[in-house]
Structure 1
Amino acid sequence: MTYPKPLPSSTARRKSTRLRRQQLAGLLFIVPALILVAIFFVIPLGMSFWMSLHNWPLLGKPKFIWFDNYAHLLKDAQFWASLRFTVYYTVIVTIAIFAVAFPLAIYAEKPRPLIKLYRTAFFLPVVVGFGSASLLWAWLLDVDAGLFSPAAQYLGLTAKRVNLLADFDTTFWSILIMVVWKTAGFNMIILLTGLQGISSEVQEAARMDGASTWQRFRRITLPLMRRTIALALILSVSGSMLAFDQFYIIADGGPQTSTVTAVYWIFSQSFVSFHLGYGAALSMVLLAILVVISVVQLRLLRNPEGM
């Protein structure tokens, strides 16, 4: 029985040196990204947590109060009401976005005449900032100077001009339509990427075996798009949980604080009431909730063989 000859020590040292150089080169490549993450995420996160342990006024000296802000948070009825509304909004708007984005992605994936024009038109609202889009829709929804209420009266749909922002239901659904119009194109592009990554040979083989359109969609398209759907879902849920601009600009939290989101309440406590320490505590709790939601989504959408 013969054994392989051990490598000469000089060869082993050269390989070890080459490996260390490769590791060092890789580390040097990621250092700029690590610095940016540290400056714009890790350090601000640490500062926010430190602020949350203080009574931190806008002017004056902060006072260390341990976890009193978190204890007060548990008794803050408005925060829990805003969190419930945020979760309700997130569920509804995520379903609505996917209900629009998935058909658009399926339509845009097929080779058709003017398909590039269609894709551009579907994606165009995404390039408009949320603040600008909210200002546009605030004007469109205005009962006097806007477009929707006068147009409905002119067309005979309503007997008089209706203030769409005077009632919770009309306010909520008006904002939801705006958000779907604004963001469906982005989710369409993500889902379109997943659809284009599915081999046409797989679909053709299933069609040759007699699988219907629904069977191919359920048994082939959805399983193969699991990772893409997970990405789009996490981005949609995270963005919806952080909703602020549309409710602040269009409805100002109304009517009667019924559309105050969690971020809106954090903004109000931090920059209206100037309870900066309490606002930081609210932010930390919302961050923890987002992390838990993202982890749960990843686990639920994980492939059997792993993501």
Structure 2
Amino acid sequence: MTGSGSNTLLPRRKRRRKSNWRGPLYIAPAMALVIVFFVMPVLFTGWMSLHNWPLMGAARWIGFNNYFRMFNDSRFMTALNFTACYTVIVTVAIFAVAFPLAIFVEKERQFVSAYRTIIFLPVVVGLATASLLWVWLANVDSGFIGPALKALGLVEKSPNLLATFDTAFLTIVVMVVWKIAGFTMIILLTGLQAIPSELTEAARIDGAGRWQRFRHLTLPLMRKTIALALIVSVTGSILAFDQFYIMTSGGPQNKMISVVYYIFNQSFVSFNLGYGAALSIALLSILVAISIVQLWLLRVGEERP
């Protein structure tokens, strides 16, 4: 009996060993892509940041001088402050538009599929293409926005929306919200649809109003969904480049230079590749820190088992 029992255990152990190897084999291609296209470039960028790395000529080791330099770089600090303000304004604006849209298209009604498609359509347009489109729309001569404002009686003559900081910044914010709100809406829509209808109906029967149901039921149950949408929105805003480069070229008066735009200028205009690499590592660290803080804040108050 003992011999036969041990013989039956051997095939089971072999099957377990085979199954233990299947998982790593399945994820090996994805891990290879991550290592080649993310880990290795980050490591190489970190190595570059420790050098005076010109476009032509040999690199020279300077240690952490590039990192010390950024703290005394007033233009970098200005770009960092501008990016932070832009991120806050755009993120709030996107959620202010996307959340009501998600609630609107969540309920089954006539033409709801068409509404979802129309709202999501700008997402499939590339950001560079959208920026070029809005440059044309904002053009003082051939654009559509200026004549529309004039026809509505809001202005006396068609304004050049990209000529001053306030109007250019507002135009870019509106363009980004138009471009991104549909994607954020889809993320929030999945969270809304995951809430059991029984809970909402029970709260309604108990006398809870719409605002009470939204505040005490919908928002707590959507913490993870909101965290995902918030991280995506904040990360995309901090990494903003195309809209500033295409629509304003950093102007007017170089007041709309984001962090990524400044890194681009240092790396590929001034050819300070080592300093640009240091700025990139610093920006990556900021993104990781912000994502960790966001996840922690959104978990505060969450019931734990």
TM-score bracket, shorter-length normalisation = over 0.9
Listed as ranges, the gaps of 5+ residues in structure 2 are none
Match of 2:94 in 1: 97
1:304 and 2:302 correspond: yes
Match of 1:41 in 2: 38
1:201 and 2:198 correspond: yes
1:30 and 2:27 correspond: yes
Match of 2:16 in 1: 19
Aligned match of 1:292 in 289, 293, 296?
289
Q: For 1:301, what is the secondary structure of its paired residue? A: helix
Deviations 1:33-84 (A, max 9, x none): 1000001100000110011111111111111111111111111111111011
1:166 and 2:163 correspond: yes
Change (3 A) 1:260 1:41: same
Aligned match of 1:183 in 160, 180, 183?
180
Deviations 1:159-194 (A, max 9, x none): 223221222111111100000000000000000011
Distance in 1 between residues matched to 2:196 and 2:152, nearest whole Å: 49
Select between 236-245 and 201-210 the one with higher mean Cα deviation: 201-210
1:221 and 2:218 correspond: yes
Select between 174-183 and 154-163 the one with higher mean Cα deviation: 154-163
Match of 2:256 in 1: 259
Match of 1:114 in 2: 111
Distance in 2 between residues matched to 1:172 and 1:147, nearest whole Å: 18
Distance in 2 between residues matched to 1:281 and 1:89, nearest whole Å: 23
So what's the TM-score if we normalise by structure 1?
A: 0.94
Equivalenced residue count is 302
**Alpha-carbon shift at residue 218 of structure 1 (Å):** 1.0
Match of 1:78 in 2: 75
Distance in 1 between residues matched to 2:23 and 2:48, nearest whole Å: 36
Distance in 1 between residues matched to 2:167 and 2:252, nearest whole Å: 10
Distance in 1 between residues matched to 2:115 and 2:11, nearest whole Å: 57
Distance in 2 between residues matched to 1:120 and 1:151, nearest whole Å: 26
Listed as ranges, the gaps of 5+ residues in structure 1 are none
Deviations 1:177-213 (A, max 9, x none): 0000000000000000111111111111111111111
Deviations 1:110-134 (A, max 9, x none): 1111110000000000000000000
Deviations 1:121-149 (A, max 9, x none): 00000000000000000111122232222
Match of 2:56 in 1: 59
Aligned match of 1:192 in 189, 194, 219?
189
The two structures, once aligned, show a CA RMSD in angstroms of: 1.7
Distance in 2 between residues matched to 1:225 and 1:271, nearest whole Å: 42
**Alpha-carbon shift at residue 23 of structure 1 (Å):** 1.3
**Residue identity opposite 1:38 in structure 2:** I
Match of 1:145 in 2: 142
Distance in 2 between residues matched to 1:77 and 1:290, nearest whole Å: 21
Distance in 1 between residues matched to 2:296 and 2:9, nearest whole Å: 42
Distance in 2 between residues matched to 1:121 and 1:233, nearest whole Å: 23
**Alpha-carbon shift at residue 22 of structure 1 (Å):** 1.1
**Residue identity opposite 1:82 in structure 2:** A
**Alpha-carbon shift at residue 17 of structure 1 (Å):** 3.0
